[in-house]
């Protein structure tokens, strides 16, 4: 049965740009599970009220509703064990750290480079919600969050050193093959790729080289995604 | 056969304070492997020249010599599979990220809180080497590296958010039981514990609560370690 996923979309309904939703798109593709995505906007709380909360991704798999990208990944692994996203309880436990690092460090770093650009791509119905909620969260205007990014991007790229160390030693974050760790980081990097023309990675960075390979995985799922800047 | 390990020591030969050596002490204890440690000082390159390089930990297991904490952990897992430090290739691949994060973010953050304190505990034979090499690396005096730490420690503690998120969800970084991920982070935290009276963690932090439990693991290996400030 096809899994239904509510997926954050922009003014262009084909523009899908949530880093959390992209993690699950990659996870579903990894498992070869068909998915039907439903475009969703930040303010459309009614459309996902059935999940008991107000954020995406939300999936519906038959009678089962799951929200929160990490919980969805755990659900998919338990329900559809192969191909594995984790493959062992210890691998899953370790991936939780990578997920937490992506949420705390990677997302926060990217936000300060592209938040104003996102404002340009969100649906008009979401514009004032997006500006108000993000300006409250960051304590500054959207314009201020990405001011000086041309110089600040160097520190952001430096903060990716742990990824760089790993990807110099092994082809995928999951080792010899992609795992959910690859979905987490690539999913997060789909966010700037889809929303902004600003290059968060240097082309010659091993992280960028790995990301290009991830874009071509799963039949080019990431490569084919609509980009606002294209 | 008892494994021999060259282990960084201070002026007090019983004071062992290398974050990399501690990772391996925990790893060896996890596997129940007996170890004989040989106190070593930074400048005693001759003592480990047989390994072909100049840093510890270095282990000798029969005829086999291995250096670099990550390489040693991989060696131990391959040679003595149970009890597992990783248990699967994917778990090991994911742990490499945690190791790289500990090296890049955690060690760097701790260094800026306690580097001058370490100077007080190193062996006199190492003092000028330690000061010169660290001042060159950090581009400032040892005294400057830890200046203002009482206020800066808040930002350091905030940087531990990924650990906090994981340890709120599961008892160990390895999940239901400790893995090498626990050895990596606890080993790194043994460094300030053994060298400095400065509290890098807040007592009520879930990371501190977990660390206290790690100190009691393996017969209290961490708990019993000599501390410079005691």
Q: To which residue do tokens 């926060």 refer?
A: A108
Task: Give B190-226 pLDDT, tens digit per residue.
Answer: 999 999 999 999 999 999 999 999 999 999 999 999 9
Which residues, at least 6 apart from A170, have a Cβ–Cβ distance to it below 8 Å?
Answer: A176, B93, B96
Nearest residue of A to residue B182, measured between CA atoms: A94
In this prediction, residue A1 carries a pLDDT of 82
Rounded Cα gap, residues B21 and B23, in angstroms = 5
Name the residue in chain A with its Cα closest to that of B85: A90
CB-nearest to B97 from A89, A104, A173 is A173
**To probe the interface with B, which of A70, A86, A94, A171 has the most B CB atoms within 10 Å?**
A94
- As a whole number of angstroms, the distance between CA A185 and CA A164 comes to 12
Instruction: Please check the confidence at residue B18 and state whether its pLDDT lies above 80.
Output: yes
Share of chain B above pLDDT 70, in %: 100
The rounded distance, in Å, linking the Cα atoms of B63 and B84 is 23
- Contact B68/A at CB under 8 A: no
Interface probe, candidates B73, B82, B84, B97, chain A, greatest A C-beta count within 10 A: B97
Would the CB atoms of B91 and A88 count as touching at under 8 Å? yes
Q: What residue in A sits closest to B102 (Cα-Cα)?
A: A162
Which residues in chain A have Cβ-Cβ distances shorter than 8 Å to B165? Answer: 96, 100, 103-104
| Least Cα separation, residue A12 to chain B (angstroms) | 34
Kindly report the pTM of this predicted structure. 0.98
Q: Mind listing the pLDDT tens digit for each residue in A113-128?
A: 999 999 999 999 999 9
Per-residue pLDDT at B230 exceeds 70:
no
Distance from CA of B193 to the nearest CA of A (A): 23
Query: Average pLDDT of B29-37?
Result: 98
pLDDT digits (tens, 9 = 90+) for A130-167: 999 999 999 999 999 999 999 999 999 999 999 999 99
Helices (H), B3-121: 19-30, 69-79, 89-101, 107-121
A67's enclosing H/E stretch is strand A64-67
Averaged pLDDT in 10-residue chunks for chain A of 230 residues: 96 98 98 98 97 98 98 98 97 98 97 98 98 97 97 98 98 98 98 97 98 98 92
CB A93 within 8 A of CB B181: yes
Q: Which A residues in the span 102-161 are in contact with B, Cβ-Cβ below 8 Å?
A: 103-105, 161
Of the candidates A77, A81, A98, the one whose C-alpha atom is nearest the C-alpha of residue A24 is A77
Calculate the average pLDDT of chain A: 97
Residue A94 to residue B94, Cβ atoms within 8 A: yes
Rounded to whole angstroms, how far apart are CA atoms B24 and B7? 10
Report whether B101 contacts A104 (CB < 8 A): no
Q: Do B94 and A181 touch (CB under 8 A)?
A: yes
Distance in Å, alpha carbon of A164 to nearest chain B alpha carbon:
9
- Two tokens at B123? 């062996």
Contacts within 8 Å (CB) and 24+ apart, A50-56: A55/A20, A56/A5, A56/A6, A56/A7, A56/A8, A56/A18, A56/A20, A56/A21
Helices (H) and strands (E) counted in chain B, each on its own, are 10, 4
Coil, strand or helix at B206: helix
Would you state the pLDDT for residue A230?
61
Q: Is B207 on the interface with A (CB under 8 A)?
A: no
pLDDT tens digits, one per residue of B156-199: 999 999 999 999 999 999 999 999 999 999 999 999 999 999 99
Angle at B9 between CA B47 and CA B151, to 5 degrees: 135
Residue of B nearest to A181 (CA): B94
Tokens matching residue B170? 């599961």
Does any CB of chain B come closer than 8 Å to the CB of residue A68?
no
Largest Cα–Cα distance of chain B, in whole Å?
A: 49
Prediction ipTM score: 0.97
> Which candidate, A216, A185, A162, A190, places its Cα nearest to that of A15?
A190
3-state secondary structure at position A136: helix
Token pair, residue A223, equals 């490569």
Peptide bond into B93 cis (omega under 30): no
Contact A88 B87 (CB under 8 A): yes
Q: What is the mean pLDDT of residues B122-128?
A: 97
């Amino acid at each position: 049965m096809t899994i239904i996923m509510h997926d954050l979309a922009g003014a262009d309904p084909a523009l899908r740009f949530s880093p959390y939703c992209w993690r699950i798109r990659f996870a579903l593709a990894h498992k070869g599970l068909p998915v039907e995505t439903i475009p969703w906007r930040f303010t459309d709380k009614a459309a996902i009220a059935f999940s008991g909360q107000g954020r995406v991704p939300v999936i519906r798999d038959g009678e089962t509703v799951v929200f929160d990208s990490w919980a969805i990944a755990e659900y998919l692994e338990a329900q559809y064990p192969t191909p594995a996203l984790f493959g062992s309880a210890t691998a899953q436990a370790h991936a939780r750290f990578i997920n937490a690092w992506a949420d705390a460090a990677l997302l926060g770093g990217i936000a300060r480079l592209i938040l104003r650009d996102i404002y340009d791509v969100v649906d008009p119905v979401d514009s004032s919600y997006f500006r108000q909620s993000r300006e409250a969260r960051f304590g500054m205007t959207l314009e201020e969050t990405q001011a000086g990014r041309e110089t600040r991007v160097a520190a952001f790229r430096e903060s990716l050193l742990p990824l760089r160390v790993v990807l110099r030693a092994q082809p995928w974050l999951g080792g010899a093959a992609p795992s959910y760790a690859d979905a987490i980081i690539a999913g997060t990097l789909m966010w700037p790729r889809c929303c902004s023309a600003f290059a968060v990675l240097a082309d010659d960075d091993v992280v960028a080289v790995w990301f290009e390979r991830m874009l071509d995985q799963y039949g080019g799922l990431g490569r084919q995604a609509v980009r606002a800047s294209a």
